[in-house]
Structure 1
Amino acid sequence: MTTDRTQVLEYIEANSDQLFSLLSDLVQQESVTGNEGPVQQVVIEKFESLGLTPDVWEPDAEKLRGHPGYFETTSFEKYGYEGRPNVAAVVEGAGDGPSLAFSGHVDVVSPNPTSAWSHEPWGAEIEDGRMYGRGTADMKGGVAAFIFAYQALSELGVELAGDLILQTTIEEEDGGVGGLLSALERGYQPDAAIVPEPWMIPNVGIASAGVMYFRVTVSGKSAHAARGYQGVNAIGKMCKLYAALDDLDKERKARIDYAPVTNRDPNAAGNVTNLNVGVIEAGDWPSTVPGEATIECRIGWPPGETREEVRAQVEAAVESVTADDEWLAEHKPTIEWYGWSADPHETATDEEIVTFAKQNAESVTGRTGAFIGGDAGLDERFYNLYYDIPAVTLGPTGENIHGADEFVELDSLVETAQALALTALDWCGTVTDN
């Protein structure tokens, strides 16, 4: 058949209730990272209903361990990978067109504290054109959109010339090692990829941030508070290190700029990199001078620096305090780099998949988009950094991501499905019967 692009758009619009129903089914599964199995079963059943044969597998950490993009995620350390499958299905092309992957993660962050929500976190409630719930935007909305985009093409009898890979992966919120990296190593290596994270269609994401976690531990000397002069308060020593890290954060913010971050949010000007002290632990009794203090931190930055360069700056900041403090000079703080360890990536804006994605996003919305990204760690980096596969972000609009009352704009979800379907037509090509 001759592909009628208008028919594709009209099918998605006319059947949007099915798209919303699929998203509701996904959101109702409480798939906090580490518990992705039940939501993947929803995906498996949906794929099978579309006549697809899903490939379902659990990651093998030992096979991934030697990869340059590997690090041991905190969720793997806590849960392992048993019962946490990835799912992929390949729609084989009817010609020799290039292949395309639609990929998305099904894990979400915790909704706690649930008392802060005015909507049920797992309820998928619809109100005023929005669906509320954990993962509606990040990123089960995008997953539902690309599955429904394929459904539209299938129902209309469209035959793509190139292969289309549909895949849902685990633990992106914790780094994606057992998810997208596992899929790539399993052989799902397309000519291009789209990950529909919630980046406000018609904007197109072309970059991700570097992200690392680190832990600093300071030793003090315990003593009874009444004889505090006999001890050394580890919290006081840690305060000096906190100040040094805060100074480093301010210095980096002042000198680092990256336009795609501020294209997305002008309020991010002067804040395109960040060093956050997120956890502090010290002491166990008010009457005891604490003998140890620990902080856990995240540092994120846009393209332009490597992990090694950023790590050296953090370690130098800690060392600057150590050298000027007699106690710390003799009892050196320790720095442990753990969990998230990702370099940033940037996809060239002249890549053909980027052009198709932006043109189609702007066409279906009637609005002009911008190239954005560089402020969050994303799965796209695996495609770009290690397999030379151009990857782009094209997804719906939502707010309160990782916060209370997360929601996705349903109109933007429809637009995302439409833009994804059209981009598959453009990239993969179609087989036409005259």
Structure 2
Amino acid sequence: MKIQAMNETYLRDKEVVINLTKELVQIPSVYRENDPEGNETKVAMYVADYLKNIGIETYVEEVVPGRPNVIGVVDSGKPGKTLLFEGHTDVVTEGNREAWTYDPFSAEIVDGRMYGRGTNDTKGNLACMITAVQSLLLDKEAFNGKIILCIPVDEEGLMLGIKHFIKQGWADGVDGAIICEPQENNISIAQRGAIRLQVDVYGKMAHGAISWSGINPNWRMARLIVELEKLEKEEQQRLGEDPFLKWPSITPTILKAPVKGDAQINVIPDHCMMTLDIRTIPAQDHDELLGKINAIIEKLKKDDPDFKVNLTVLDNRPATSTSKEDPVVQAIYEAAKNVTGTEPKYNGVPGATDGTFLHMHGVPIVTVGAGDRDIPHQIDEYVDIEELAITTAIYREAALRFLNSEGVGNDEI
């Protein structure tokens, strides 16, 4: 890839973004309940201090005790649009440390790659968005409107941070959002939706040798799983392969029986629990899909009077899609094209991001960032340091293109 305009600004920003990424990765922020060392507070406060030191108006808002969002605002003082950059502070568990080639929180740089938990997802991209805005300030670049840096907690969990950010009104009037996640700098304009379900099937505990004296919930759960696999295939056949997101899916993940107490080979449990991770594409309607699942359950109950089941919706996030013609998509596309000297690739995010909730709030979103799309959450997670520099340059130029393009912002309409 030929990088255009590898000038003093590019080289300066490259050094800044590498150092900032390293600092962020070296502050562990794996959320662990009731563990004061295992939350996002330290990295959030580091980011807040960093933003203040470079002259950005900064707010820290506690979402739940010990888990603060950080918000930075750069207002040009001139009327115009509002652009939001979003990058979360939390990372997933490092897993077995002994399996890592380098310490997961050392941010070792070897052969042009930085290794560590969060280098790819998404502290590297968080550093890129901060460095891009810092670069605009250092160079006293003129732009209209304002930039908001949204730096929430809990993206890897229930996304409490972005929900709080929206509830507090920060997303009101935002004209476009760049979601800073590892996408190999593809222009990702779609995301799969997610429905998380818990299925509880109840029976009657009994001796395994006297099965007729009990009601085995496992048989009933098995029948349901078979029917759900059929439904998945029907949905895939009905909808076909999405050009960016591939296939919709229904995936049983956790299967547990008994739910409480110890399992024993000669005991029929009284309760079986399953979780479902359902991923959807924009062509699917979530209410319709849930209706199909409920219809399967009702049929199984009709065929078997002892089929006692409870279905709980744990999470329900729709798939998202943003037009290629949307100004925020056009700004990032043209910036990526200019910086790299190649035509960017359109793509989709296989999972969900904080952008899902911004989309639901009416904010056009596009997901772009440094890092191999297949590396998040893996042992020996890494990011190419040159890609960090490229992404920073893309974010910087995209901000100028978006904010200085014709048109008024939402808050002016």
Shorter-normalised TM range: 0.7 to 0.9
Partner residue, 1:319: 298
Off by >6 Å, runs of 4+ in structure 1: none
Shift of 1:427: 1.6
Matches of 1:157 and 1:7, distance apart in 2:
18
Match of 1:21 in 2: 19
Which structure 2 segments of 5+ residues have no match? 33-38, 406-413
User: Which residue type is aligned with residue 275 of structure 1?
Assistant: I
Q: Is the counterpart of residue 396 in structure 1 residue 375 in structure 2?
A: no
Q: For residues 356-405 of structure 1, what are the alpha-carbon distances to aligned partners after superposition, in whole Å with 9 as ceiling and x for unaligned? A: 1011112212222222215321222323332x322211211224212222
User: Does the alignment pair 1:146 with 2:129?
Assistant: yes
Cα distance per residue 1:61-87 (max 9 Å; x no partner)? xxxxxxxxxxxxxxxxxxxx1111111
Aligned to 2:53: 49
What's the secondary structure of 2:282's corresponding residue? coil
Partner of 2:409: none
Distance 1:401 1:231, change over 3 A: same
Alignment length (residue pairs): 389
Amino acid at match of 1:174: G
Amino acid at match of 1:46: Y
- Any conservation in 2 of the 1:107–1:172 contact (CA below 8 Å)? yes
SS of the residue 1:58 aligns to: strand
Q: CA RMSD in A?
A: 2.1
Q: CA deviation at 1:247?
A: 1.8
Deviations 1:205-251 (A, max 9, x none): 11222111111111222122333342233222221112111222222
Verify: 1:179 aligned to 2:161, yes or no: yes
Q: Give CA-to-partner distance per residue, 1:153-209, whole Å, 9 cap, x none.
A: 111122322211112011122242x322322332323222111111111x1111222
Alpha-carbon deviations, 1:20-48, whole Å to 9, x = none?
Answer: 11111111222224621111012112112
Q: How does 1:41-120 map to 2 (within 5 A)?
A: 41-59=45-63, 81-120=64-103
Name stretches of at least 5 consecutive residues in structure 1 with no aligned partner: 1-5, 60-80, 263-267
Cα gap change, 1:153 to 1:209, in 2 (>3 Å): same
SS in 2 for 1:150: helix
Q: Partner of 2:156: helix, strand, or coil? A: helix
Percent identical residues = 30
Query: Normalized per residue, which structure has more helix?
Result: 1
Distance 1:215 1:10, change over 3 A: same
C-alpha contact 1:101 1:167 (8 A) present in aligned 2? yes
1:191-206 correspondence runs (5 A): 191-201=175-185, 203-206=186-189
Verify the 8 A CA contact 1:145 1:414 in the aligned structure 2: yes
Structure 1 residue aligned with 2:411: none
Q: Shift of residue 7 of structure 1?
A: 7.6
Q: CA deviation at 1:53?
A: 2.9
Amino acid at match of 1:334: N
| Among candidates 19, 30, 46, match of residue 32 of structure 1 | 30
Q: Deviations over 1:288-319 (max 9, x none)?
A: 12221111111011112232122112222333
SS at match of 2:57: coil
Structure 2 counterpart of 1:163: 146
TM-score by length of 1: 0.84
Q: Which piece of structure 1 moves more, 230-239 or 42-51? A: 230-239
Work out whether residues 245 and 318 of structure 1, in 8 Å CA contact, stay in contact via their aligned partners in 2: no
